[in-house]
Amino acid sequence: MFAPLAKPSNNTSTAAPCIDQIPILTRVIPMSVLIVGSTALDSIKTPRTRKPRLLGGSASHAALAASLFAPVRLVGVVGTDFPRRYLQLYRRHRIDLEGLQIRDGKTFHWSGQYEVNMDHRRTLRTELGVFETFSPDLPPAYRHTPWVLLANIAPSLQIHVLNQMTRPRFVAADTMDLWLNIARDDLNALIPRLDLFVLNESEAQQLTRKTNVFQAAQSLHRLGPRYVIIKKGQHGAVLSGPRGLFLAPAYPLPSVVDPTGAGDSFLGGLMGCLAQARGPVESNLRRAVICGTAVASFCCEGFGLSRTLRLRRPQLEQRVRELRHLTRF
Amino acid sequence: MFAPLAKPSNNTSTAAPCIDQIPILTRVIPMSVLIVGSTALDSIKTPRTRKPRLLGGSASHAALAASLFAPVRLVGVVGTDFPRRYLQLYRRHRIDLEGLQIRDGKTFHWSGQYEVNMDHRRTLRTELGVFETFSPDLPPAYRHTPWVLLANIAPSLQIHVLNQMTRPRFVAADTMDLWLNIARDDLNALIPRLDLFVLNESEAQQLTRKTNVFQAAQSLHRLGPRYVIIKKGQHGAVLSGPRGLFLAPAYPLPSVVDPTGAGDSFLGGLMGCLAQARGPVESNLRRAVICGTAVASFCCEGFGLSRTLRLRRPQLEQRVRELRHLTRF
């Protein structure tokens, strides 16, 4: 049984193409970001604490981060056990839920455990639930969304979403080592269709067979994407594009409560920031990477989405200024 | 038998105090940097190449790096087997060798091997030779040198040098995991006497028992040093001081030929840059870290000191400008 969460409203179904047609110089309303990925319940264990059934998943983290900057359209699936308060929480953050399916069955549930230094995590259990048969079919109103974020999910589903889009302005995708191991062909079909491909250092090395991160970035460009970001966790991120490299630091946190979703928050913040900015992507991308970095740092300061949800734009802007000061010489 | 390499010249013995007395605003001649550390022959094996008996050692790398910016006074010991051409090479780079002892016996010889990704190295053999009984006794002319760099060497020898100095303006020291394991008491006695303590991430974690690099830096400040730098190899370095943190990237190298001595070059370049700069240390330290970063990147581009020796200031300044562009947003 497929039950879209809300009927398409007239507003929603026409908003995206209209905004897209406004000449660039008069554009003041941030454009929407479509985000597809996992919408899950996370049970997280750290050396000090255990938190069961938090709101999680790549799409949840990315959507909440992006919603700080721009309207978000969420594409995902949850089961009938999905707490009502989590739906309300999405809505409070202006996240359009027309693309969120509620299906008979259980919500995707992930359990993981972090080691003492929070650098390594171990998956304890994965229960796919309704995710097992998820097909991200888009409401018509979503198909003209200019900014598309394919958060971490099976690449076949990322492709399925992309196939339904009408000339998106910018498409970014994240992935994970699992898909490199079990869905390489799908990933190979996806990558050439991306404007921005984001992955972490070990994934980039695995995919390109280059141990050097800058060589890996060059190999990834040759697969198609104009922009590549290689995430290095606490060591920051490297953006590679036509204007060369940008070396972004991570925000210096004296302690990390829970890094779950930091990478998704990074990319969500980045895409939200791009969507609300005027002018060409090339001119805005460095600042967008830093916005993503700042959101990710807040994400790490609380369990699940607890800190991100309390985040306001002035706090975020303050951290962006700090990052500028921390790197200036 | 102790044979200083050259008699103290009148010029050398009076130069340091004179320069030190010139009012800061009229100071145009860079002040000298005294560097003590190992002067060695390195046999290096990488996955592709094997290079025997190159000029190496912490003091050699630091001295050649610092000599790009300021006059250097070298304190070390070599055996009678030390190739004459290496002495000439020091001299060509304006390195004062009055403090370099030549003793009967063999020069300290280190052999090491790097793994495929150049991240991990394995010591194959260490032959201490004349280093075993080395006592770094300073020529009188050296004792007023304003800038003191205690490159990696036993902390008891670093302390011995410091005990002979007359009110140095700024003292920096590097160390390595070996001394944390076998000479902790000496290290504990040294650290409170330093202005700047430099060590790599794993050493900082081992010394402070803090896995978080920013917490580790705070613990290190509590031991005395006003400035702390934690080196993170290819991920850059963190400077911590009274004005907060500075996050320095590493220069993005698409391939590393030989990273031996990169950390020593970093600190040598940093100290040379500080010694030639006008004004307070606090105002110059960020740029000095970047100068050190740039020199270290050249060091990695050749075996041993081969690339550093061909380096000229304009190339270095170009890389400093690139690093600024690579981090600006």
Q: Give the pLDDT confidence of B121-154 residue by residue, as tens digits.
A: 899 999 999 999 999 999 999 999 999 999 999 9
Range of the domain at B111: 30-327
* Residue B75 within any structural domain of the chain: yes
Task: Report how far residue B38's alpha carbon sits from residue B179's, in angstroms, rounded to the nearest whole number.
Answer: 14
CB contact under 8 A, A214 and B289: no
CA distance B292 to chain A (A): 13
CB contact under 8 A, A214 and B254: yes
User: Which residues on chain B are in Cβ contact (under 8 Å) with A287?
Assistant: 329
Contact (CB, 8 A) for A136 and A161: yes
Q: Give the pLDDT confidence of A240-283 residue by residue, as tens digits.
A: 999 999 999 999 999 999 999 999 999 999 999 999 999 999 99
* Residue A231 within any structural domain of the chain: yes
CB contact under 8 A, A211 and B246: no
- B256 Rama sector, left if φ>0, alpha if ψ -120 to 50, beta otherwise: beta
CA distance B176 to chain A (A): 22
- For position B116, what pLDDT does the model report? 75
Task: Report how far residue A275's alpha carbon sits from residue A293's, in angstroms, rounded to the nearest whole number.
Answer: 16
Name the strand (E) or helix (H) holding A220: helix A213-222
**How does residue B86 score in pLDDT terms, banded at 50, 70 and 90?**
very high
Q: Give the pLDDT confidence of A286-319 residue by residue, as tens digits.
A: 999 999 999 999 999 999 999 999 999 999 999 9
Helix runs in B210-261, H state only: 213-222
Task: Lowest mean pLDDT of B67-81, B106-120, B194-208, B229-243, name the range.
Answer: B106-120
Q: Please count the structural domains in chain B.
A: 1
Entry field: residues in chain A? 329
User: Which residues on chain B are in Cβ contact (under 8 Å) with A220?
Assistant: none
Mutate to test the interface with B, among A206, A238, A290, A327 (most CBs of B within 10 A): A327
Task: Lowest mean pLDDT of A105-109, A196-200, A234-238, B6-10, name the range.
Answer: B6-10
* Residue A20 within any structural domain of the chain: no
Mutate to test the interface with B, among A208, A232, A235 (most CBs of B within 10 A): A235
User: Which residues on chain A are in Cβ contact (under 8 Å) with B329?
Assistant: 246, 248, 286-287, 289-290, 324
User: Which residues on chain B are in Cβ contact (under 8 Å) with A252?
Assistant: 213-214, 238, 245, 247
Cβ contacts from A onto B, under 8 A: 82
Largest CA distance in chain B: 58
Task: Lowest mean pLDDT of A111-120, B29-38, B149-158, B266-275, name the range.
Answer: A111-120
* Residue A242 within any structural domain of the chain: yes
Helix runs in chain B, H state only: 10-21, 58-66, 84-92, 155-164, 177-182, 184-190, 201-208, 213-222, 262-276, 281-299, 306-310, 313-327
**How does residue B30 score in pLDDT terms, banded at 50, 70 and 90?**
low
* Residue B50 within any structural domain of the chain: yes
The model carries a pTM of 0.90
HSE on the CB side for A164, CA within 13 Å? 21
- For position A22, what pLDDT does the model report? 44
Task: Report how far residue B206's alpha carbon sits from residue B313's, in angstroms, rounded to the nearest whole number.
Answer: 37
CA distance B256 to chain A (A): 9
CB contact under 8 A, B245 and A326: yes
Task: Report how far residue B26's alpha carbon sits from residue B17's, in angstroms, rounded to the nearest whole number.
Answer: 15
User: Is the ipTM reported for this complex over the cut 0.85?
Assistant: yes
Name the strand (E) or helix (H) holding A62: helix A58-66
Closest residue of B to A327, CA-based?
B247
Between the two ends of chain A, the Cα-to-Cα distance in Å is 58
Which CATH number does the domain housing residue A229 bear? 3.40.1190.20
> What does the mean pLDDT of chain B come to?
91
Mutate to test the interface with B, among A247, A253, A282, A319 (most CBs of B within 10 A): A247
DSSP of A101-142: EEESSPPPEEEEEE-TTSS-EEEEEEE-GGGGG---PPPGGG
Tokens of A156: 């076949």
CB contact under 8 A, A212 and B256: yes
User: Which residues on chain A are in Cβ contact (under 8 Å) with B326?
Assistant: 244-247
* Residue B7 within any structural domain of the chain: no
What sign for the dihedral angle of Cα B317, B322, B324, B325? positive
- For position A30, what pLDDT does the model report? 65
User: Which residues on chain A are in Cβ contact (under 8 Å) with B218?
Assistant: 254
* Residue A26 within any structural domain of the chain: no
